[in-house]
Structure 1
């Protein structure tokens, strides 16, 4: 340990500055030993820890085959933005008073790599695509480097003389980026060996859409695809959210029109805040937030029950309950709080994410379109709770 810390001081002499008290905490032997696996596997030139405060919201009641009946779930949220945890908590109260939220994993997605191959002409690229429609011969090659990953599909898109090969793998309970990368290496070698007319290749050509919101991600999905639904009585919406169903419906008309005019991808209003807080608390890859937040809503007012059916569709929740940052001590404890640490917990985790996102979406939109004396509730809440901004 002393040798390692000496090397760090030589590389970064400014770390000896007595004013860097918090970064230097890692030099204590107990802390260093605790994070040693992280130093060797996840983080280069390790010098310290970035600490984000964690609050809790709940209880959240989910109706799902992955969650116990009436099981109260408390959600750890890492955030420095005032109002987020309070808003999620209010949304959960609305959901509890409405009978809970129903969640369903309607598609177990995949993780992709998309190498690109250059040919002399578009005709050669098209012939390559046609031959690769029968890709089963690549299955043993792709799966040889993983014990739990499965090859689901290989799709080839020709753009000019370039053939983009989108390799889709089932990742199990992990994020799967490293797994599909190893598989892609083997697939690339096999393809080059069979097609000598390939002039050049790129290990990633961009068609995977990794960590980017995209139409192909919404259509085909990445990670888990989850739907969260709740039937909210108008009285509950008015008593707790201080808004009416007709106000909610009109708000989304306004939101969608503005999204279209600014050239954005149609999406929900407040989901990204929830994802950021959950992902930071549970050791997820934060760069996956943009694609995971891609979502759509369905709203329908039922006059016979005087209730608003609020449905949130999240087609690309890229998350993990094993591997990566999930093994960090704090993040592991947060996952254990959710009952989502380890194998065979990924569907439960994805549905908890979607249900929590719905809770915040309901609260955020209710605040944004509150009427009467509460018309500026959302802005006033930020002004009151973000006192240092």
Structure 2
């Protein structure tokens, strides 16, 4: 304890010279304390900075240096099974290997993802509780009250994959381009229909947006998931949908369905010959569907940077990218800054669509 008291006085610049010790003994006696001083802000022994402010300012640094120090949770708003859950479990497995602690997937389905979001929004901001969510979380606040604010209550870490939505039509129809399709729909709205698998999803909003202002309206059909919508299309009961590549790739290959456009600002590597709707003169379809990882608000920057770096390493793995592409997803190597920018811009885009096509919550 005498060393601690003397070191504290030395930190303040008030200590007297200590008795001379043999070099080896002095090193053994003072080196641990000197290393602590360096970790607490890189100060030298000659520094005259007051002790209390210096120690207080190093608490986030000390916390980030020890991260992670216990098992972590990845909260997932989807039930076990399915593409989203599989991606979350793959990420958890890879992160566990890289971080050296178990990363447990905690499925919290229900209430369109708000249950899972609320758990993470209220969690400690020490980086040990993370949220794996999708772009729907930017839409839900425009449909119903949610117990958190996406921008205020979360810290973006990284998106890991995008899920481009393709404008898909029944291949028995003669249209080959978005313009031909929209011309036909406008001329005879009641003759065509759109399907979607989840109320409040990007697929639903884009279907609503596509038929806005059409006199007489175009029937919109809700299926129990994308697979059900696809089956209805193959049976001829639904004309078109905004669907993920994973849901339709088999039927497109066999000739039952046709891709005529894709959402987003760039063509998808999953089907590079299919033009974007923006290229075809159809504005308002730039917002993407994605999967990403978020932390609670006020998570220290050093921890966010560590997590983002490890996720970038995971997404650089060839096996990970191959598995995502096989599931119809586009792998993405992202940064916290790019993710934050996407959240801000896409939140505005979705709210504009919601303003133009008010959507009542389905019972």
TM-score, reference length from structure 2: 0.30
Higher strand share: 1
